[in-house]
Amino acid sequence: MAITEAMVLAAGLGTRMRPLTDTTPKPLIKVAGKPLIDYALDHLKEAGVTRAAVNVHHHADQMLTHLDNYPGMEIVISDERDGLLNSGGGLVKGLGCLGRDPVFVMNADLFWIEEGTPSNLRRLAEFFDPATMDMAMLCIDLDRTTGHNGKRDFSLGPDGTLRRYQEGDPSPVVYAGAILMRPDVMDDSPDGAFNFNAYFDKAIGAGRLFGLMMTGHWITVGTPEAIGDAERRIALETSEA
């Protein structure tokens, strides 16, 4: 399946990144010389995305300037300067800027070092079946992550279905912060701010939340101290490639 549109969640305050985020929005914090959001946008562009909605709030003017100069992709701004809408409300507003075909959704503070071809997002697009899935997410083993808090998020069944992780479950996985979803899943969403997590639970209840194990090494950057860990991992993975 060809996926040409995406939503990047980038409007958070980045409170754990202070004092860096006192003057710079978290998505523009540089890791190995590159703004965090550019890693996400680059993944999407490689996968064939030509149009992406990005929500902005904190230091929005800096975000607008940067995104206006990002090459090779049309970027539509979902403006939350009047008030943050949390992950769910922000997603709903951003999806309103896009069409009704399945879309990628990514967080702006994470990325991965690819391993082989096709890329992880292209594999996710091939995996996704809108007839049987509301959402499909990239998943990863905890031991192939850098910067993660150690929490297992889901258990991955042999048929690819996901459920919330419970202690002792087989096949525990970490949610890699990238999904492919049908926009109509959000048609019954409440107004205003809400947490998108409720829609994971809804999809689990319907047997329509699926996961795909990604290849490579996954990195998230949540604190200033995590930048060094991320840069060391990038250097290691690059040297071994």
Q: Residue 240 pLDDT > 70, yes or no? A: no
DSSP 8-state class, residue 239: H
| Each residue's pLDDT tens digit, 160-211 | 999 999 887 788 999 999 999 999 999 999 889 989 999 999 999 999 999 9
**Do 111 and 227 touch, CB atoms closer than 8 A?**
no
Q: What percent of the chain has pLDDT over 90?
A: 74
pLDDT at 111: 94
- pLDDT value of position 14: 82
What does DSSP say about strands 51-56 and 5-9: parallel, antiparallel, or unpaired?
Answer: parallel
Give the residue-averaged pLDDT of 116-135: 95
Question: How far is residue 175's CA from residue 142's CA, in Å, rounded to a whole number?
Answer: 10
Q: How far apart are the first and last CA of the chain?
A: 29
Return the CATH architecture of domain 5-240: Alpha-Beta Complex (3.90)
pLDDT single digits (tens) 40-64: 999 999 999 999 999 999 899 999 9
Cα–Cα separations (whole angstroms), residue 103 to 39, 97, 130, 239: 18, 12, 11, 33
Sequence spans of domains, the chain? 5-240
Tokens representing 151 are 């929490």
Decide if pLDDT at 96 tops 70: yes
Flag whether the pTM goes above 0.85: yes
Judged by DSSP in three states, 82 sits in: coil
The answer to whether the beta carbons of residues 110 and 220 sit under 8 Å apart is yes
Tokens for 55, please give them: 């929500």
pLDDT(229) > 70: yes
Closest CA to 217 of 148, 125, 124: 148
